[in-house]
Structure 1
Amino acid sequence: MIEIGSRARKLPAPPSVVWESLVEPHRRGARPWLSLLSDEIEPRVLEAEKPNRVVWSSLWPSRPNDQVHFELTAVGGETSLKFTLLTPDEAPDQSKTGHLRRRLNHLLFADLRFSYGQ
């Protein structure tokens, strides 16, 4: 697998809460955060080990074999969330790579973060 991008940041919720958000983004009672663009599809959970690991399928039909791996680590009452975007295929060009990274950054470290009220 080739790494396309990776980033880690803190989220203001414990790992069990962040894990549930990643595994069931549309669960009843949760604030909506997974707002997809027209070129994106709902990811499927390929693997999940509560509360430290989740693997999503690709969000992009044009890149169906890509995977998003999440590592969750407790930091006080918060979570350090690291995503790694991997592909078994050729890496995309620089423009597409930037778009994919930017979208994951926005979904996780803006939309998901704000769903926790901060």
Structure 2
Amino acid sequence: MIEIGSRARTLPAPPAVVWDSLVEPRRPGTRPWLHLLADEVDPRVLAAEKPGQVTWSSLWPSRPDDRIHFALTASPDGGTLLRFTLLTPGEAPDQSKTGHLRRRLNQLLFADLRFSYGQ
């Protein structure tokens, strides 16, 4: 697998809560955060090991073999250090597409998911 991009940031919720959000992003009773664009689809959870790892299928039908791996660790402030790694078994996309994929994951995780926790 080729790494297309990776980024880590902290979220205010503890790892078990973030893990639940990633494993079941549309769980009833939680604030919606997985706001997809017209060219995106809901991910499938391909692997999950609570509370430290989750792997999603691709959000992009145009890149069906890509995978998004999440690593979650507790941060000193009681929140979570969340790292996403976008992987592909094939060729990496061009720079423009790569930038778009990274930006979308940054938006979904480090803005939309973060704000769903009230911060």
Q: TM-score, normalised by structure 1?
A: 0.99
Instruction: Tell me by how many angstroms 1:58 deviates.
Output: 0.1
Which string of whole-angstrom CA distances, capped at 9 and with x for unpartnered residues, describes residues 79-104 of structure 1? Answer: 00000000001000000000000000
Runs of 4+ in 1 over 4 A off after TM superposition: none
- 2:111 maps to 110
Structure 2: distance between partners of 1:29 and 1:43: 20
- 2:62 maps to 62
Are 2:116 and 1:87 aligned?
no
What are the within-5 Å matches in structure 2 for residues 32-71 of structure 1? 32-71=32-71
Instruction: Tell me by how many angstroms 1:28 deviates.
Output: 1.4
Q: TM-score, normalised by structure 2?
A: 0.98
Percent identity, aligned pairs only? 79
Question: Residue 87 of structure 2 aligns to a residue in which SS?
Answer: strand
- The Cα RMSD (Å) is 0.4
The answer for unaligned runs of 5 or more in structure 1 is none
How many residues matched? 118
- 1:21 maps to 21
Q: Which amino acid aligns with 1:112?
A: L
Which string of whole-angstrom CA distances, capped at 9 and with x for unpartnered residues, describes residues 49-87 of structure 1? Answer: 000000000000000000000000001310000000000
Q: Which amino acid aligns with 1:99?
A: H
Q: Which amino acid aligns with 2:63?
A: R
Q: Which amino acid aligns with 1:108?
A: L
The answer for unaligned runs of 5 or more in structure 2 is none
